[in-house]
Chain A
Amino acid sequence: MLDFSILTNNFDSFLEGLKITIISSLIALLSSFILGTLIAVMRIAPVKLLNWLGSVYIEFIRNIPVLVIVFFTYLSGNFGGMTAGTIGLTIYTAAFIAEAIRAGIMSVPKGQMEAARSTGLSYGQAMRMVILPQAIKIVIPPLGNQFINLVKNSSLLAVVAGGDLMYQGDLISAKTYITFDTYVFVALFYLILTIPLSLGVGFLEKRMAKSN
């Protein structure tokens, strides 16, 4: 039988961890979305050097374990655990978001860009006001999945003392020696976050299918 005293005795720690997990995930989501969009545009912009830089970023980052990236940002020595972890998550997730958004941009008919450019809009304006709004609508479901992955990956903050849910679990299990039960509660807290997200993504997918 599950030892609920672990939950009740350490409730504040769990809540603190949950808070940090949520904050870190939200910050990483927002910044990886911005960074990812930028890299996606670099990959398809009509400038060879930018295409190349974008590809290099994606290929390098996608093919390094996120744990290693988080170690690097932490070992750079400039940041505390939570900040280093969040930056690492951002760098990693941005590569996947960039690929999703690039696919979205490619799925917008080429004529949309031509029509916008033919009215005198610059490439940047056309991208921002005409192409990206359409592309992002298309990639909302895959972005939702990235966000769920991001929340789960944020557990890596624990290895750099980031204070998140997983880290609190580590502390509690070290204190109580009731390892299994502690991590059951940790898992439940993650589910509280990810199941609504997952349902939300499913809902968006259905709505998207309708509007098409």
Chain B
Amino acid sequence: MIEFKQVNKFYGDFHVLKDINLTINQGEVVVVIGPSGSGKSTLLRCINHLETISDGILTVNEISVGDKKTDINKLRRNIGMVFQHFYLYPHKTVLENITLAPMKVLGLSEKEAKDTAKHYLAKVGILDKAESYPSQLSGGQQQRVAIARGLAMKPEIMLFDEPTSALDPEMIGEVLDVMKALAKEGMTMVVVTHEMGFAREVADRIVFMDEGRILEEAVPAEFYENPREERARLFLSRILNH
């Protein structure tokens, strides 16, 4: 479904992604972990073309992402994204945040879009906040709205870029629960996170990155019990033993 073949990316002289080869299949939950600056967010952002790759091939559903002929807006309809800082539209209500793209991009009527939005708001457990503005919500609630906003486009793939890193510890659980439910339903998910518990429980595969390279790819049990790479071992010991 998502395939990186020998992908490289540079910011000027800085080599951010090095020879990335990665295949993500339909229904898979892949969690990308690694120290900050390792390129994991960049990797994620390449998938929906928020970042461009410098060379190699990156395809989503066999469509080349960087190709000039590719209609990127069409491709993005199928890929939802959730950001660390939510980025809800502050001038719109929760409901309007969610209905905007379905109405403008998919051409849904206002009623259809509202019904869809309410369906997903109920799913993330905050239907009662439909008429609120983002500033009136807690961080956890805002992030759940952001997830509903992504889901309302009925994408096949959801990308999560450190979705809980900006949240108070108390609110992390509610967001992870929504993500777990989504994973159970078979959503294809690529998640950049530092939540090791979530990775362990939900991931089909862990991808460990450092300095722009994928150093290790393994199922969670294997990765956590017995990481092959020394760097992964060090990373795990630092974040698990404190």
Query: Residues of A with Cβ closer than 8 Å to B?
Result: 109, 111-112, 114-122, 125, 129-130, 133-134, 137
Contact = CB atoms under 8 A, between A and B. Distances in A.
Interface centre among B73, B80, B81 (most CB of A within 10 A): B73
B77 interface: yes
A120 B150 CA distance: 10
A114 B49 CA distance: 10
Interface residues of B, number: 25
Contact of A118 (B48, B85, B88): B48
B81 A118 contact: yes
B71 to A, nearest CB: 10
Contact of A119 (B50, B74, B85, B105): B105
B104 A125 contact: yes
A116 B88 CA distance: 9
Contacts of A109: 85, 87
12 contacts: A117-B50, A117-B76, A118-B80, A119-B80, A119-B105, A120-B76, A120-B105, A120-B153, A121-B104, A122-B73, A130-B100, A134-B89
Contact of B150 (A111, A119, A125): A119
Contacts of A117: 50, 73, 76
A37 B58 CA distance: 36
Contacts of B80: 118-119
B135 to A, nearest CB: 9
B149 A119 contact: yes
Contacts of B87: 109, 111-112, 114-115
